[in-house]
Structure 1
Amino acid sequence: MRKLLISLLREPIMRINNKFSSNPDKTKIYNALSKLFNNIIEDPGNKGLQIEFDNVKDKFIIFSDQHKGRRNGADDFTHSAANYIEALKFYNSRNFSFINLGDCEELWENHSLQIVEPNKEVFEAEKLFLRRNSFIKIFGNHDLYWTTSPLAKLELINIFGAEIKIYEGVILTTAIGDKKLHIFCTHGHQGDEKSDGNKLVKFFIANIWAPLQAYLKINPNEPSTNSFKKTIHNEIMYEWSATQKGTVLVTGHTHQPVFESLTHLEKLYRNMQIAQKNHDEILFADYDKQVRALERDFTLVTTDYLTTSPSYFNTGCCCFADGDITGIELEDGMIRLIKWEYDASGLSVRSVLDEKKLQELF
């Protein structure tokens, strides 16, 4: 019966979910990002941190959008939890700092107390970084509770065993030659009224979507290598970042991995354009085949991806339907989009999806 209902209801439910999930306003997003960036630069430690780092010696891992729940059918994190724990152990053992970029806990569908015990091992893995003073926690729209509830401070102490401050963003600043590069990290929900958690959206999520999802076991997150162009929200984020000299923007929120301002599909488009420009028919045919495998109705590339500024990156999420998690690494003067997935024997394996030298981002 459940399988029949899933086949009948998945598409209309997903349409309703998407209707409630996002409504980005370009002007509001631009204003919110600029205001937060300037606040961190002018008053560091208030809404966010500014951290000077050595891009050769210092290392960072940025994950977002775990949406930790209570391991019921509505918990998108369930299948990815083991990957996430193994990834954190890997990065902690190599002395990475960890930026947790928001929507870490699913507090629209759950009360904060409900998620503690089911995620005990997960929080223990995160605490490894806190003990080294290498943990930065950013809030998103689904865990905004941590900044609004008078009980949040005590609850966080109960979870992490120490007081922890929650920020809206962090700016990592590094010298590259005689230039300075700012890596501006924030969740990315700013400027989206629906994502900011108005009462109607919260009611839908908690009282309609969550019970339906729990029964039907529907995970709305596409596999980590998806066949889509950037969402409107990601496109607006990119457009803002392209106007900021010496700054790249790293967000989460949309659950869509973006590297150098391009999704996986858009990167294939760009590679096609490069092959065409170089008159490389064999390479062009290979990329064309890959694109058609993702887009059955593909005809031609209408956007010039060769002129795209490499100024925007998105972590993706840690709750993909296939159990994969994606994130952004900073190490050895490089920025990388990485994925952790289960191999044939069920072990967690890291792979690099894309990478670029930081000095090439100017």
Structure 2
Amino acid sequence: MSSQKRFSRAYTHARRISFSDTSKFIIFSDCHRGDNSFADDFANNRNIYFHALKHYYKEGFTYCELGDGDELWENIEFKSIFEAHQNVFDLLRLFYNEERLYRVVGNHDMVYLNDRYVEKHLYSYFDKVSGKDEPLFPGISFSEGLLLKHETSGQEVFMVHGHQADWMNYHGWKFNRFMVRALWRQLQIFGIGDPTSPAKNYKELIKVERRTKKWIIANENLFTITGHTHRPRFPEPGEIAYFNDGSCVHPRSITGLEIENGAISLIKWTISTTEDGTLKVIRILLEGPQQLIDYKTE
């Protein structure tokens, strides 16, 4: 199956969500939440991510996580990830309980397409204090894509992880997972990156972006948001409508996309130092806001 067919299948089977200009979405991907070991890239930005997500929860945003949320290549079980970052999952549970959480699978968490795995590991968790199972995300399901459709204009916003453009990370993900666990996780401590990852291999990144843009053009410049490459993208109206939210494992910062008041913005959360030496987490607007309707094609 070609990358174009993989994208089309993800679009066809995407979860449909109606939205309006009053809707608010925050879009992150590639958190790669790990077990808080030396190989856990998320651990460095955990406090930034938690602060940002807490802000969006209080402000009434719906959280869309576009794949690779949990690092299930380096880590065999979800349990170790949950125990390392339980405060984060407690916050995600609040979003889920209010029907404000949507999660898409990426190549590093493809196991979430297995309903049995999800039921076993994500529906509940063992609370060591109470000594019994407590609900976590009961009944949660994952999809390959999300499709927002504006209730007035009919404009569609397609969200997908983006590994559909990458054969080895889509069909060969089990082999890549084995290599990461057997080799690259151990080498990561020496600064040697996984060459199968487009985020760490520029040539692969360019190939993924080229295939993604080809599909977007073939589908009448459909407004498309991906992750996977870890490289933020924010096109101008009239250009190929290919957006990328970046990742949550940038050095000392996370990037994402906000949709609010019918407009989209690229933002960064990072740690800043005040004049008196106090550290604080701040939000920086990188691009936008740009009205979604400006990207609509007839």
TM-score range with shorter-chain normalisation? Answer: 0.7 to 0.9
What is the aligned counterpart of 1:343 among 272, 283, 288? 272
What is the aligned counterpart of 1:260 among 235, 241, 246? 235
How many Å separate the matches in 2 of 1:113 and 1:217?
A: 26
Q: Highest CA radius of gyration, 1 or 2?
A: 1
Deviation digits for residues 216-260 of structure 1 (CA, Å, limit 9, x no counterpart): 36678xxx9xx99x7221222122212323620111111111111
Deviation digits for residues 121-179 of structure 1 (CA, Å, limit 9, x no counterpart): 11112112112111001111101112237333121012524221111111001156xx4
Alpha-carbon distance change, 90 to 311 in structure 1, aligned in 2, over 3 angstroms: same
Give structure 1 stretches of 5+ with no counterpart: 1-26, 41-47, 262-306
Say whether the 8 Å CA contact 1:310–1:361 is kept in structure 2.
Answer: no
- In the alignment, which residue of structure 2 is the partner of 1:334? 263
Q: Does 1:165 align with 2:141?
A: yes
Which AA in structure 2 matches 1:314?
Answer: N
Indicate the SS of the match to 1:51.
Answer: strand
Q: Does 1:233 align with 2:208?
A: yes
Which AA in structure 2 matches 1:238?
Answer: K
What is the aligned counterpart of 1:116 among 76, 82, 88? 82
Runs of 4+ in 1 over 6 A off after TM superposition: none
What is the aligned counterpart of 2:246 among 316, 319, 333? 316
Q: Does 1:133 align with 2:99?
A: yes
Deviation digits for residues 181-218 of structure 1 (CA, Å, limit 9, x no counterpart): 110001111142221244432222111110121x3366
Indicate the SS of the match to 1:338.
Answer: strand
RMSD (Å), alpha carbons: 2.6
Which AA in structure 1 matches 2:71?
Answer: E
Identity of aligned residues (%): 31
How many Å separate the matches in 2 of 1:84 and 1:119?
A: 11
Give structure 2 stretches of 5+ with no counterpart: 126-135
Give the Å deviation of 1:100.
Answer: 0.9
How many Å separate the matches in 2 of 1:66 and 1:119?
A: 12
Say whether the 8 Å CA contact 2:115–2:141 is kept in structure 1.
Answer: no
Give the Å deviation of 1:351.
Answer: 1.1
How many Å separate the matches in 1 of 2:97 and 2:211?
A: 37
Most deviating of 158-167 and 334-343: 158-167
How many Å separate the matches in 2 of 1:216 and 1:246?
A: 42
How many Å separate the matches in 2 of 1:168 and 1:251?
A: 11
Alpha-carbon distance change, 198 to 243 in structure 1, aligned in 2, over 3 angstroms: closer
Indicate the SS of the match to 2:75.
Answer: coil
- In the alignment, which residue of structure 2 is the partner of 1:352? 285
TM-score, L = length of structure 2: 0.84
How many Å separate the matches in 1 of 2:174 and 2:216?
A: 30
What is the aligned counterpart of 1:216 among 180, 184, 190? 190
Say whether the 8 Å CA contact 2:96–2:137 is kept in structure 1.
Answer: no
Say whether the 8 Å CA contact 2:165–2:212 is kept in structure 1.
Answer: no
What is the aligned counterpart of 2:175 among 200, 204, 226? 200
Say whether the 8 Å CA contact 2:184–2:192 is kept in structure 1.
Answer: no
How many Å separate the matches in 1 of 2:79 and 2:163?
A: 24
What is the aligned counterpart of 1:190 among 164, 167, 176? 164
Give the Å deviation of 1:80.
Answer: 1.0
More strand by percentage: 2
Q: Does 1:63 align with 2:31?
A: no
